Amino acid sequence: MLIKELVKKLQEQDQNAIVIMSCDGEGNNFSPLSDLESSHYLAESTCNGELSTDITDPLAVVLYPIN
């Protein structure tokens, strides 16, 4: 998902709602959003990868849960 797609979806929500992160796609555990940062992302597959120091990898925003 691109930031512009996320922003559009977030603008449709109650702006006073808290942001909760799911630990996985199945919704087995949840945690409030703690912080975010810009980084570079190296995809290892369509569903996971690693943060990268190589500036040629795509720019990404990383969302961190509290737990």
pLDDT of residue 25: 87
Which residues of the chain fall below pLDDT 70? none
Number of domains in the chain: 1
Domain holding 36, by residue range, is 3-65
Q: 3-state SS of 8-62?
A: HHHHCCCCCCCCEEECCCCCCCEEEEEEEEEEEEEECCCCCEEEECCCCCCEEEE
Give the pLDDT confidence score for residue 36 in this predicted structure. Answer: 95
- Tell me the pTM: 0.80
